[in-house]
Amino acid sequence: MSFKKILITGPTSANKRYCFDRWLHNTLQINYPGEWKIVLFDNTLDNGESAKYQNDYYLRNYGAHDNKFECLKSDNTNTDSVISRICNSHNDCRRYAIENRYDAILHLETDVFIKPHYLQELILHKKPVVGALYYRDFGSFRKLMAQQRISRAPGNTFMYNMDRWDDAIWVDGTLKQIDHIGLGCLMIDIKVLKKIPFRFVKEIPVHTDSFFAEDLFKAGIKIFADTSLICEHQNSDWAQVK
């Protein structure tokens, strides 16, 4: 498995503007000798103004000589919920990577901050799906985004998210198999993306990342987490930020 051309990508919207400048500066510090580019897909309900703002910011502050960043407008046609709009953007990322012949994507949410060496560390594992860790939720509810499948009985399983005390034991700096670590910082081989699209179910209020983890499980594709790589997640309540 050899990754040479990497797409760093993810959904975004005007709701993430509170940290966009810091996120872009941080992500542009990636230290990787191969070919890479950041391409975001904006699902703001506008006529492309949010995507234009991000492109203009990049050109104004970094210039166009290296062509390392681009924000494209997602097609929100026939999307009637936040979950459906985000799922559309996930699939825009997937489609762009396939059409432009990338070897893999680093799916990076636009409020997740990585260190410059994380990309190379993930590549060196040579796994079809491998990611770094980050924390989710707020205040006393904050916990590691790491879920394991628990079997109650044959055909009866549920996903258990580690609580605030589990991570002290589980995070030991090694590479570990895990059932679900979200899409915050996840490297995915293009062969996997060609096989498995992103999806959601209209009647179930669950985001795309959970269905993606489920589809990987059904396809027999393992997810790995490098427990030495911890991202900073500057998540905020979008409603409060707005």
Query: For the residues of 1-44, what is the DSSP string, one character each?
Result: ----EEEEEEEE-GGGGGGHHHHHHHHTT---SSEEEEEEEE--
Q: What's the total number of domains in the chain?
A: 1
Note the pLDDT tens digit of each residue in 192-225: 999 999 999 988 888 999 999 999 999 999 999 9
79-118: pLDDT as tens digits: 789 999 999 999 999 999 999 999 999 999 999 999 999 9
pLDDT at 241 over 50: no
What integer best gives the mean pLDDT of the chain?
91
Could you tell me the residue range of the domain that residue 221 belongs to?
5-133+172-241
Which among 164, 200, 166 has a CA at the least distance from the CA of 183?
200
Residue 15 lies in a domain: yes
Please write the tens of the pLDDT for every residue from 41-81.
999 999 999 999 999 999 999 986 678 999 999 988 777 89
In a domain, 228, yes or no: yes
- Asked if the model's pLDDT at residue 6 lies above 90, the reply is yes
**Confidence (pLDDT) at 150:** 77
Inside any domain, residue 139: no
Residue 153 has pLDDT above 60, yes or no: no
For residue 106, is it within any domain?
yes
Residue 29 resides in a domain: yes
Residue 173 is inside which H or E element, if any?
Answer: none
- H-type helices in the chain, by residue range? 20-27, 49-62, 82-99, 118-124, 167-170, 190-195, 208-218, 238-241
pLDDT at 54: 97
Q: 120 in a domain, yes or no?
A: yes
* pTM of the predicted model over 0.85: yes
Q: What is the CATH number of the domain that holds 40?
A: 3.90.550.10
Q: Under a CB-based contact definition with an 8 Å cutoff, are residues 144 and 242 in contact? A: no
CA distance 223 to 193: 14
The pLDDT value recorded for residue 199 is: 96
- pLDDT of residue 164 exceeding 60, the answer is yes
What lies within 8 Å, CB to CB, of 165 at 6+ separation is none
Residue 145 lies in a domain: no
Domain-embedded: residue 34 = yes
